A and B are shown apart, each in its own frame.
Chain A
Amino acid sequence: MTDRPSLRARAAAAADDGGLRSNLHRAVTHREARRPEAYAELTDANEAHGAAQRIRLDTLRNLPALLGTMADNVLAAGGYVHWADTGDSAVDYVESVLRRRNATNIVKAKSMLTEEIHLNARLEQAGFEVTETDLGEWIVQLAGQAPSHIVAPAVHLNRAEIADILGKESAEPLAGDVTSLTQFARSRLREAFLDADVGITGVNFAVAESGAVVIVTNEGNAGLTIGLPKVHIALMGMERIVESWRELDVMMSLLPRAATGQSISTYVDWVTGARRDSEHDGPEEFHLVIVDNGRSDILGSEYDQVLTCIRCGACSNVCPVYSTIGGHAYGSVYTGPIGAVLTPLLSPDAGLNDLANASSLCGACWETCPVGIPLHDLLLELRYRESAAAGPTERAAWRLWSTMWSKPSRYRSSLSTAARFGSVSSLPLPGPIKRWATGRTPIPVANKSLRKLWKRPRS
């Protein structure tokens, strides 16, 4: 972890990567362009956001009861429930199911939670063959990369780069057009589905009243992951739950609109328990793994609104930082504004707490968030939390500034000094002011004081 370049260096390198920036720009523009039309279909978008926010906040207040109902209903539908306090507990449980079923081949539908708990790496280490079946996720898996966006894992890549990655997998030369590439992916992934012993998915929403889990895709890969293998394991963050289909309806009216500018995703799969005797398809076994992994520490804290997130990724799309540097520069599983908040909360020991600084606090994330999470305010709270960890030099600098500028007379004399030297560098401002000179002309300093100007007789 210590050999990771600084956040400034990572951001600078990404901002300087013209190819990356053009890929991001194209993808983000495309996504953003579709959103207004999808939102225009709603009677009142603000009202919808308000309703969704209330549902999510109510969910947090009733979380223990909702999870209890959910678990009861999964059990009643013939499923199994595992409560995982930690990521390791979740992975261990998955591994135990795989071993009991003598499974070797696993297909997965895209799930950020499984990224969070590093499920693939752990399963591969244990000798299992894991195939991601979301096209973007498969591409980054083949490239040995991490997803760079919560919803669009390969958003940092362009078609030529993707053709290179897929070309290495193909026995025959692969044409670089979209149809050839997707046909290749389709044929390869179809084999993986047919060979799979177990399918693993995430959960977009669990519906407590019926014990169903809802999974949203545009490629139909979740349906095959759920339906073809004999075992389905669904992993959910403990906060990803609604009380009933009525609340789900509100959330589903917003998730695809916010995420990809679609009225509805191409596929919405929901599954309740294992296959019943009267049913023709579906898994023999259904397991729901409910993962805490730090969430209950957030619940009830000043940060708990972050748990209302529905992982639409809209905050990344509108974020001027994300759209300049992409996801990998964050160095975290969750990227963009939500990642800058979640990472220091879920993984405070990962050495990434400075992500809270990776924002100009412009508020675009908050403005677009379908559940109204004040991400800029949560970043400020995190910066306050992290301020205790500031070094002695920085703290001394802030104390000096505070002393100088909390007395009008000292403040005025510091302004006179700056005017005399003609530079803001002589102000008692903390921080490496000389870095302003990176690509910018100096900040002008007035040589006349405002007090004098103010008192000057006017014509």
Chain B
Amino acid sequence: MKVGLFPTCLVAVSAPEIAMAARSLLEQQGHEVVLLEAATCCGQPAWNSGQRDAARPVAAASLRAFVDADVDAIVIPSGSCTAMIRDYWPHLFTDHATEASTVATAVDRTMELTEFLAANTTEPVEAADDTDAVIYHPSCHMTRLLGLVDAPLHTLGRSGYTPISHNATGRCCGFGGLFSIKFPELSVAMADDVLDGMVDADATTVTGCDLSCLLQLSSRAKFRGLDLSFIHVAQLVAGSDPAHRQAP
């Protein structure tokens, strides 16, 4: 299959190696992967702030890149950006004829990374004898908006990782985009609730499908000097050097 990778703005800015890891996972499955260079951002920062007129041209630029790419699927290493596209792009372009005519096709081809990986494998989960325990942070949009609960666990399990939960699993990390800077003290307190749960868990590596949540948690964990390391699922599964795990 020919796959277009939409890296997302945050990955492009902060951790391009996540896109590289996603690429190698997709190539391992035998897909041809192209980088959707002309796609910028899904528009979520503005959309979540109620600034729909600001969000629309940005999302439209990315939509155009999706439409122009000659690919069978568009894969995104982020649950939150995928949710923005799948749940909210149709709404964003309702009264805009040009985009409204193409958005459904583009949305139908768009998948979150582990969702795509799980959907395109027929291999069963290997029951590895020797598995590494990792704390899996289910991000909110991934879990609740996209309903993607099993796909990341499947991806982790196939690579010999046992995802473990803790007593704050399922709680929001407190990022919420601009929420994290509009209400920094509250945002940090919310991160602490999740981090305290993680500290009590029987693992020190934290993984997840959204860089945004991992950055929120790792930035707070580092500030507190906690013994936790954070790595995006794509990097973990692609076998990144553990030395790179400190900064997702």
Q: Do the beta carbons of A424 and B176 come within 8 Å of each other?
A: no
Q: Check if B162 is an interface residue, CB within 8 A of chain A.
A: no
Q: Do the beta carbons of A446 and B15 come within 8 Å of each other?
A: yes
**Given known contacts A11-B185, A321-B190, A324-B190, A359 and B179 CB-to-CB distance under 8 angstroms:** yes
Given the complex of chains A and B, what is the CA–CA distance between A450 and B13 in angstroms? Answer: 8
Q: Do the beta carbons of A380 and B219 come within 8 Å of each other?
A: no
Q: Do the beta carbons of B186 and A15 come within 8 Å of each other?
A: yes
Q: Check if A360 is an interface residue, CB within 8 A of chain B.
A: yes
Q: Do the beta carbons of B189 and A398 come within 8 Å of each other?
A: no
Q: Do the beta carbons of A402 and B57 come within 8 Å of each other?
A: yes
Q: Do the beta carbons of B172 and A320 come within 8 Å of each other?
A: yes
**Chain A residues closer than 8 Å to B47, beta-carbon distance:** 380
Q: Do the beta carbons of B23 and A454 come within 8 Å of each other?
A: yes
Q: Do the beta carbons of B50 and A450 come within 8 Å of each other?
A: no
Give the interface SS of chain B, mostly helix, strand, loop or mixed.
helix
What is the distance, in angstroms, from B6's C-beta to the closest C-beta of chain A?
Answer: 11
**Chain A residues closer than 8 Å to B188, beta-carbon distance:** 15, 438-440
What is the distance, in angstroms, from A291's C-beta to the closest C-beta of chain B?
Answer: 30
Given the complex of chains A and B, what is the CA–CA distance between A382 and B15 in angstroms? Answer: 33
Q: Do the beta carbons of A357 and B182 come within 8 Å of each other?
A: yes
Select the residue from B17, B172, B223 with max chain A CB neighbours within 10 A.
Answer: B172
Q: Do the beta carbons of A383 and B185 come within 8 Å of each other?
A: no
Contact with A402, one of B54, B178, B182, B191 (Cβ below 8 angstroms): B54
Q: Check if B174 is an interface residue, CB within 8 A of chain A.
A: yes
Q: Do the beta carbons of A325 and B16 come within 8 Å of each other?
A: no
CB-CB contacts below 8 Å: B173-195 with A: 174-191, 193
Contact with A406, one of B57, B171, B176 (Cβ below 8 angstroms): B57
Contact with A398, one of B7, B9, B15, B46 (Cβ below 8 angstroms): B46
Contact with A405, one of B16, B40, B48, B223 (Cβ below 8 angstroms): B40
Q: Check if A392 is an interface residue, CB within 8 A of chain B.
A: no
Q: Do the beta carbons of A446 and B14 come within 8 Å of each other?
A: yes
Q: Do the beta carbons of A450 and B185 come within 8 Å of each other?
A: no
What is the distance, in angstroms, from B76's C-beta to the closest C-beta of chain A?
Answer: 14
What is the distance, in angstroms, from B3's C-beta to the closest C-beta of chain A?
Answer: 14
Q: Do the beta carbons of A398 and B181 come within 8 Å of each other?
A: no
Q: Do the beta carbons of A432 and B186 come within 8 Å of each other?
A: no
**Chain A residues closer than 8 Å to B220, beta-carbon distance:** 439-440
Contact with B181, one of A11, A15, A324, A432 (Cβ below 8 angstroms): A432
Given the complex of chains A and B, what is the CA–CA distance between A408 and B58 in angstroms? Answer: 9
What is the distance, in angstroms, from A307's C-beta to the closest C-beta of chain B?
Answer: 21
Q: Check if B236 is an interface residue, CB within 8 A of chain A.
A: no
Q: Do the beta carbons of A441 and B223 come within 8 Å of each other?
A: yes
Stretch at the interface among B108-116, B119-127, B138-146, B199-207: B138-146
Q: Check if B49 is an interface residue, CB within 8 A of chain A.
A: yes
Interface size on A (CB < 8 Å)? Answer: 67
Q: Check if A186 is an interface residue, CB within 8 A of chain B.
A: no
- Interface range on chain B (Cβ under 8 Å from partner): 35 or more
**Chain A residues closer than 8 Å to B49, beta-carbon distance:** 383, 387, 398, 430-431
CB-CB contacts below 8 Å: B11-38 with A: 11-17, 19-20, 23, 35, 37-38
Give the interface SS of chain A, mostly helix, strand, loop or mixed.
helix
Closest residue of chain A to B48 (Cβ to Cβ) is A361
Q: Check if A362 is an interface residue, CB within 8 A of chain B.
A: yes
**Chain A residues closer than 8 Å to B187, beta-carbon distance:** 360
Select the residue from B23, B45, B189 with max chain A CB neighbours within 10 A.
Answer: B189
Q: Check if A184 is an interface residue, CB within 8 A of chain B.
A: no
**Chain B residues closer than 8 Å to A438, beta-carbon distance:** 184-185, 188
Stretch at the interface among A36-44, A79-87, A210-218, A363-371: A363-371
**Chain A residues closer than 8 Å to B141, beta-carbon distance:** 361, 363
What is the distance, in angstroms, from A132's C-beta to the closest C-beta of chain B?
Answer: 30
Given the complex of chains A and B, what is the CA–CA distance between A7 and B65 in angstroms? Answer: 39
**Chain B residues closer than 8 Å to A384, beta-carbon distance:** 50, 52
Q: Do the beta carbons of B40 and A450 come within 8 Å of each other?
A: no
**Chain B residues closer than 8 Å to A402, beta-carbon distance:** 46, 53-55, 57-58
Interface bits B213-242 vs A (CB < 8 Å: 1, else 0): 001101110110000000000000000000
Q: Do the beta carbons of B37 and A362 come within 8 Å of each other?
A: no
Given the complex of chains A and B, what is the CA–CA distance between A111 and B248 in angstroms? Answer: 49
**Chain A residues closer than 8 Å to B46, beta-carbon distance:** 398, 401-402, 430
**Given known contacts A427-B13, A453-B16, A320 and B184 CB-to-CB distance under 8 angstroms:** no
Q: Do the beta carbons of A387 and B52 come within 8 Å of each other?
A: yes
Closest residue of chain B to A390 (Cβ to Cβ) is B51
Contact with A454, one of B35, B177, B185 (Cβ below 8 angstroms): B35
25 A-B pairs within 8 Å (CB atoms) are namely A324-B189, A357-B182, A359-B179, A360-B172, A360-B187, A361-B48, A382-B50, A402-B53, A402-B54, A402-B57, A402-B58, A405-B61, A430-B178, A431-B182, A435-B181, A435-B184, A440-B184, A440-B191, A440-B219, A442-B219, A443-B14, A443-B219, A444-B215, A444-B247, A454-B20
Known: A320-B172, A320-B193, A440-B184. 6 other contacts (CB 8 A): A12-B185, A15-B185, A15-B189, A360-B175, A362-B176, A390-B51
